[in-house]
Chains A and B, each alone.
Chain A
Amino acid sequence: MTPQSTAIAKHRFGFGYYPQRYWNWLIGSAFFLGGIGGATFLLSIITRFRPGMILGYLIVVMGKNTAHLLFLGRPERFWRAAMRPDRSWIARGIWATGLFAVSGLICLFPQGWAVPAAILMAAQVVAMISALFIMFYDGFVMNSSPAIAFWHTDMLPLLILMYASLGGTTISLTLRELFGVQDLATPVLSQAEHLLLVGNFLLLAGYMARMSRWTPAARETARLLLRGTYARVFLGLVIVVGLLATLLLSIVQNFADLPELVILIALCELTGDFTLVMVLLKSGLFSPQSAPSWK
Chain B
Amino acid sequence: MARLGMVIDLRRCIGCNACTLACKQENGTPEDIHFARVVTREVGTYPATKRTFLPVLCNHCEDAPCAEACPSGATWIREDGIVMVDREKCIGCRACAVACPYMNRHFIARGLLENGYSADGLSPFEAVKFAEFEEGTMTKCTLCAHRIDAGLLPACVVTCPTEARIFGDWDDPSGKLQKLVDERGGWALLPECKTKPKVYYLDDQVGCSAQSEVPES
Contact = CB atoms under 8 A, between A and B. Distances in A.
B148 interface: no
B98 A83 contact: no
B73 A15 contact: no
Interface stretch (B87-95, B123-131, B155-163, B170-178): B87-95
Contact of A84 (B72, B100, B102, B193): B72
Interface string B19-45: 000000000000000100111111111
A20 B98 contact: yes
Contacts of B10: 291
A72 B68 contact: no
Given A81-B72, A147-B193, A72 B41 contact: no
A20 B107 CA distance: 13
Tell which of B48, B92, B195 has the most Cβ of chain A within 10 Å. B92
Given A90-B93, A286-B101, A292-B207, A146 B194 contact: yes
B52 A4 contact: no
Interface in A1-29: 1-4, 12-15, 18, 20, 22-23
A191 interface: no
A144 B54 contact: no
A292 B70 CA distance: 30
B103 interface: yes
A254 interface: no
Nearest to B109: A73
A84 B73 contact: yes
13 contacts: A2-B44, A20-B98, A73-B92, A73-B93, A81-B71, A83-B73, A90-B69, A144-B99, A146-B195, A215-B192, A286-B101, A289-B189, A293-B52
Given A147-B103, A289-B103, 9 more contacts: A2-B44, A22-B98, A71-B93, A88-B70, A88-B95, A144-B99, A145-B65, A291-B201, A293-B203
